[in-house]
Structure 1
Amino acid sequence: MFFTLTQALAVVCTLVVAIAGWCGITPAAYAQDNTVDYTLTDLSFRDFSGKQLSGTSFAAAEMREANFRKANLSKTILTKASFLRANLSFADLSGTFADRVIFDGADLSNAIFTDALLTSSSFGEANITGADFSGAIIDRFQVAQMCKYADGVNEITGVATRDSLGCR
């Protein structure tokens, strides 16, 4: 039996929601009744600054150079999304499921990634000044790379970026 990419993604998302439900976690995709689904869309150069997007799905979406400054992206599904050179400064990404996401060249200054799942995601040349990664799950290689230039204190949470990454 063969599945299309959309069918396979739907199966994966269904499994994530089911597992979250079994664990007593509110599934992110169902956190709001009026949630818009941006899965597999091209949102490049769009302006989402200050928007309330909590619980939305941006799975496999292209958001090259989009503006998410001060947006609420908490508890969103970002799997396989691309935020290449996007502005996520002061954005709330707490509790996001961000597996295999590209944050290369993005402005993540003062962003909040607390308790986010960031496995296999890349942060090459991203501005992480003041970003808070407390409790986030990040690949050791990415942490080691970010610790080379991590600096600042998050203006909202008061947590130092280096401390939130566990840098020595």
Structure 2
Amino acid sequence: MDRERDRDTEGRARSARPRDGLGRPLPYGSAGVERQPEGVVRSPDATVREAQRLLDAGMPFHAHEVFEDAWKSGPEEEAALWRAMAQLAVGLTHAARGNATGGARLLLRGAAGLAAYGSAERGPAHGLDLDGLVRWARELAERVPGAGAVDAVGEAPALAGRR
């Protein structure tokens, strides 16, 4: 059956297909995980809380969308922070899907972004444990190539340090 592409009001492609907890599309009519609404403006604290909730639930793809909203709606001087956080979340997503190369690459890119953000003191870190997240991402990136698909819940980072 040939379906028209799902589009938003501005004509951009938006898939209405249900998705699993790692953001993979499922067949139409399947029960999926509720998607994160796009374009939500949250406070930095609310962003960190919601992303941590999603990471703890094994939904790093959805956490990446929360960070992406902060990146796009927040102050320009914090864009690098939220972009790096989104890269970490999507790196974990790829690693959990079994894409070792893409997962490791994005984890390292996010770690580099956080390290640069922290060393440049561009803006507030909003309680994020930047050093701990950089360490976590680099260590996971080293383990991913031989691990197969990783457990998204078991590998979820503590964004603000120890829980």
Q: TM-score, normalised by structure 1?
A: 0.31
Q: TM-score, normalised by structure 2?
A: 0.32
Structure with more of its chain in helix, by fraction? 2
Q: Indicate the structure (1 or 2) with the bigger Cα radius of gyration.
A: 2
